[in-house]
Amino acid sequence: MTVAAVGHTGDAMELFRGTAPSPSFLALHRAGLTGGGQELVDFRVPCNPYFPTPAMFAVMAVRLRDILTSYPSSAETITAELADVLGLRPQTMAMGNGSTELITWIDHLLVKESLAVPIPTFGRWTDQPMETGKRVDMFQLPEMSGFALDPNAFVAFVRSRGSRAAVICNPNNPDGGLLSRRAVIGIMDALADLDLIVIDESFLEFADAEAYPSVVDEAVLRPNVIVLRGLGKNFGLHGVRFGYLVAHPALAAQIRSRLPKGNLNSFAEVIVFMLKRYRQEYAESLRMIGRDRQLMTTQLAGLPGVTVYPSQGNFVFVKLPGGTDGSWVRDQLLSQHGVLVRECGNKLGSSSQFMRLVVRSQPDVQRLLTGLSTVLYGTSFYAPRVGWEQPPSLDAGPSGHAGYSDYAGYPGYADGASASGYGVSASAQRQPLDLPYQQPPAELAPAYVAMPPAQPPLYQVPAVLPQPPMVQFQAAAGQGEAAGYDRVRPEETTIEQLPVQGRQPDAGVPEPSPMERTQTMTYDPAEPKAAVPDPAFLGERADDPMGQAPALRRYPRPAAYLQDDSMA
């Protein structure tokens, strides 16, 4: 997403002022924003840079006149095709003009009094119900545990506040934290008496820490559960505005009956009917993003004082060095380097010291790292250097279109660690090749960074997924979770276990105070155990039976809702 940036930077920067969402790329283009004389690179909007393929764009370009001058088919026709692609029943689905339209109708129709939601998270889940006068019970995710959601604590919070609806984003936006499938099912069981439970899986297609993390098969069997999915994020087509939800047939029908007629456009229809032909390209794009995420996380972790949180989305959540104003960093990156970033000062539960950075390919990431290194430290030493051996061209690769070349043996690592797989060495030291370079300031000592583990291979979807057993929530916390993604539960964390943020003591800087290393909790860690039985439902099965389904068929077909069509 790049465009030649010309015009007056000062006037255009006013678009970022205030608490509203950051300006669209089109708005910046109209304002003639100058990015240091360079093309703009957008790290704000979560996207899929490898999909649609150039071939798909070529098809749409040829058909552009027909698309723009023709009415789309009915929503029923488009939904039936998408259901066939995904392996679902149309009766369990409702398609909307983006997930925001569906969130609006969910709030109007199903949220009666109050809604509990962990924060920070996607802003519409807090803003929308507040706009309609609902009480929003906000559960602060603790920074000291990497913004991990503790299911037991969240259930206890919902009970203590008397919330009648609850929302969980999985993976969460902006930090990318992922709950296991079994943990989510445990929450749904524990809150089965609520009016509504929404599991927002808008970014779940990018997760690869678990073989089958979705709960759509459970949602269609429960009268109070909705799973929300966004198509623009997965398919890299935010401008098309289309998304869908999956729920019990009666609940899905209630939403469908209130959606405006003709709410889907012709572009959405064309894309949906092209998906079967490009299944493999879509699956490959997800693999490429997983690889890019691993490499980008490792590179960001090399910036002194920057904390990087492991993510299962197509974005990475980072904390800037102590005392850094994210708004100022954002403005400097834009004006001097032509790099657009999302600082999270207007997100509830976050601050301007945090940024959410979208996963992009290496040429763009190198510009980001150069900009961050220069703005934060006054030197480009910590960014990839000119003169390093560059990765292979992103021209047509194995899949026949741009962006599908591996970064085999990516440069900048003295040990020659390869980034083409998932084993990039976290300890590899970047060494420029016999070129003069600027010595970094002596006071910059490396700080703690949350390093991600090696990624497990991209899963294959089981053709048939057995129904999960009814568990009594006796499993130990973290038992059976994907290796490397176990997160410490807040009540089990001690000060000695917490990472020290900022510079290390050996750099001559005093130890951080306790206030800098932790934060006030919004709940008593002892209350969850007293309020509810200890449902440490974080275990999960690691098996992946069969795994022979087509690339896009990411949902099982439980017999309970495939027996007949009368349920509609």
Q: Residues with Cβ < 8 Å from 243, sequence gap 6 or more?
A: 95, 96, 98, 99, 101, 102, 202, 228, 229, 230, 231, 232
pLDDT for position 82: 96
Distance, in Å, from the CA atom of 293 to the CA atom of 359, rounded to the nearest integer, reads 6
Joined together, the tokens standing for residue 49 give 């840079």
pLDDT exceeding 90 applies to what percent of the chain?
Answer: 57
Q: Are the C-beta atoms of residues 247 and 89 closer than 8 Å to each other?
A: no
Rounded CA-CA distance 518/488 in Å is 14
In the prediction, which pLDDT does 230 show? 87
Which helix (H) or strand (E) segment is 529 a member of?
helix 527-531
Which residues share a beta bridge with 343? Answer: 355
Sign of the four-CA dihedral 124, 125, 126, 132 = positive
Residue 313: left if φ>0, alpha if ψ -120 to 50, beta else—which one?
Answer: beta
Task: Give me the pLDDT at residue 233, please.
Answer: 85
Tell me, letter by letter, the H, E, C secondary structure of 250-310.
HHHHHHHCCCCCCCCCHHHHHHHHHHHHHHHHHHHHHHHHHHHHHHHHHHHCCCCCCEEEC
pLDDT digits (tens, 9 = 90+) for 376-408: 999 999 886 543 344 433 333 333 333 333 333
pLDDT, averaged across the chain: 75
Amino acid identity, position 180:
S
Position 67 scores a pLDDT of 94
Side by side, which strands form the sheet with 135-140? 93-96, 243-247, 225-230, 196-200, 165-169, 114-119, 135-140
pLDDT at 425 over 80: no
Report pLDDT digits (tens) over 466-500.
444 443 433 344 444 433 334 433 444 333 443 43
φ and ψ at 212, to 5 degrees?
-145, 90
Which conformational region is residue 87 in: left (phi greater than 0), alpha (psi within -120 to 50 degrees), or beta?
left
| Pairwise pLDDT comparison (317 vs 395), residue with the higher score | 317
- Predicted local confidence at residue 13, as pLDDT: 54
Q: Which pair of structure tokens corresponds to residue 240?
A: 């098309």
Do residues 182 and 471 touch, judged by C-beta distance below 8 A?
yes
Token pair in block for residue 511? 């130890």
